[in-house]
Structure 1
Amino acid sequence: MTTIIILIVIVLLVILYISLYNSLVKLKTYTQESWSQIDVQLKRRNDLIPNLLETVKGYSHYEKDTLSQIVNLRNKLINNNTDRKDTMKVSDELSNSLKSIFALSENYPDLKADAEYQKLMEELTNTENKIAYSRQLYNSSVANFNMKIQTFPTSIVAKIHHFTPATYLETSNEEKSVPNISFNEENN
Structure 2
Amino acid sequence: MWLVGMHNSLIGLRNRTQESWRQIDVELKRRHDLIPNLVETVKGFATHERGTLDDVMRARSAAVSAGGSPAETAAAEQQLTGAVGRLMAVAEAYPQLQANSSFLALQQELASTEDRIASGRRYYNATVRELNTKVESFPSNMIAKQFGIHQEQYFEAEAQARSTPQVNFDTGSPRTYESAPEPQQGGPSQGATPVAPAQPATPAPAPGQAGSGQPGLGQPGTAEGAHAPAGGLPPGAADNAQGAGRQGGVADVNPHQEGGALSWPSTQPDKPQQ
Is 1:101–2:87 an aligned residue pair? Answer: yes
Is 1:57–2:39 an aligned residue pair? Answer: no
Q: Residue 21 of structure 2 aligns to which amino acid in structure 1?
A: W
Is 1:174–2:161 an aligned residue pair? Answer: yes
- Please tell me whether Structure 1 or Structure 2 has the larger radius of gyration of its CA atoms: 2
Inter-partner Cα distance in structure 2 for 1:55 and 1:89: 27
Higher helix share: 1
Is 1:70–2:56 an aligned residue pair? Answer: yes
Q: Residue 153 of structure 1 aligns to which amino acid in structure 2?
A: P
* 2:92 match: secondary structure: helix
| 1:1-188 mapped onto 2 (5 Å cutoff) | 15-172=1-158, 173-174=160-161, 176=163
Q: CA shift at 1:163, angstroms?
A: 2.0
Give structure 1 stretches of 5+ with no counterpart: 1-14, 179-188
CA distance 1:128–1:176, change in 2 (3 Å): farther
- TM-score, structure 2 normalization: 0.56
Contact 2:42 2:91 in 1 (8 A): no
Contact 1:92 1:175 in 2 (8 A): no
Give structure 2 stretches of 5+ with no counterpart: 166-274
Q: CA shift at 1:111, angstroms?
A: 0.2
Contact 2:125 2:154 in 1 (8 A): yes
After superposition, the CA RMSD in angstroms is 1.7
Identical-residue share of aligned pairs (%):
36
Inter-partner Cα distance in structure 1 for 2:73 and 2:153: 13
Structure possessing the higher relative contact order (Cα contacts under 8 Å, 6 or more residues apart): 1
Contact 1:93 1:174 in 2 (8 A): no
Deviates more, 1:157-166 or 1:123-132: 157-166
Cα distance per residue 1:81-107 (max 9 Å; x no partner) = 223222111101101111112222320
Inter-partner Cα distance in structure 2 for 1:33 and 1:176: 29
CA distance 1:177–1:63, change in 2 (3 Å): farther
